[in-house]
Amino acid sequence: GAVVSQHPSRVICKSGTSVKIECRSLDFQATTMFWYRQFPKQSLMLMATSNEGSKATYEQGVEKDKFLINHASLTLSTLTVTSAHPEDSSFYICSARQVGALAGGYEQYFGPGTRLTVT
Amino acid sequence: AQSVTQPDIHITVSEGASLELRCNYSYGATPYLFWYVQSPGQGLQLLLKYFSGDTLVQGIKGFEAEFKRSQSSFNLRKPSVHWSDAAEYFCAGTFNAGNNRKLIWGLGTSLAVNP
């Protein structure tokens, strides 16, 4: 149980175009989803937290107009990288937390990640 | 400020040897603590977690971790390492109250296993 998928797993796009990444919780409902960015050989950097039906909360330094996050349902969140540039190339990872998680059940379930390359 | 520290960036052990990966946290109260493993080309997998209760926590793949409040540590251990354990290991903790508990991540420890 608690499987999270991401699509696509890899994407190459041209500079100036937009790319959408989907994150789905396959066998549970997720009130909260998180988007991370990971640079090579580094830890995860939280970009934003999204709650179903409300606006995402972005971390300091993350451009909300560049990284558009939509969490329209309890099983789907999307991250759109708008007007992508080569410096946006990275590994993007989403995670989800289950609805009604018990006080101690705040673990996050992670998707496999999306490798974005902007040329 | 809350933080999670993994002092060892890279560790190499021989197959069959024991393993201990260190994790320290900085927080005034007891956080929720996690260990995740990230294998090449794969997503992050939860190895184990600590919320309260028994300070020795058993996880998957033969891993265990011990929470020591006096040392603000949550070290990961395995008695006998297998070649397939080579991966990146992340310690993380949640410290904030409320529904949007964010994970604070350590920088990770890269484990190499010699045959």
How do residues A61-99 score in pLDDT, each as one tens digit?
A: 999 999 999 988 889 999 999 999 999 999 999 999 876
- The shortest C-alpha distance from B42 to chain A (Å) reads 6
Contact of B113 with B83, CB cutoff 8 Å: yes
pLDDT (0 to 100) of residue B30: 74
Tell me the two tokens of residue B88. Answer: 């990146």
User: What 3-state DSSP class applies to A63?
Assistant: coil
Specify the residue for token string 């500079």. A15
Tell me the two tokens of residue B56. Answer: 């020795």
Taking CB atoms and an 8 Å cutoff, what residues of chain A touch B51?
104
Tell me the two tokens of residue A5. Answer: 């998928």
Q: Terminal CA-to-CA distance of chain A, rounded, Å?
A: 37
Contact of B112 with B86, CB cutoff 8 Å: yes
- Residue B90's nearest CA partner among A41, A8, A75, A73 is A41
Specify the residue for token string 């289950």. A98
Q: Tell me: the pLDDT tens digits for B63-101? A: 999 999 999 999 999 999 999 999 999 999 987 655 567
pLDDT (0 to 100) of residue A34: 93
Average pLDDT, chain A: 90
Mean pLDDT of B1-17: 94
Instruction: Give me the count of residues in chain B.
Output: 115
Q: Which residues of B touch A (CB under 8 A)?
A: 32, 34, 36, 42-46, 49, 51-52, 90, 94, 99-103, 105-108, 110
pLDDT (0 to 100) of residue A28: 86
Contact of A108 with A101, CB cutoff 8 Å: no
CA distance A66 to B17: 47
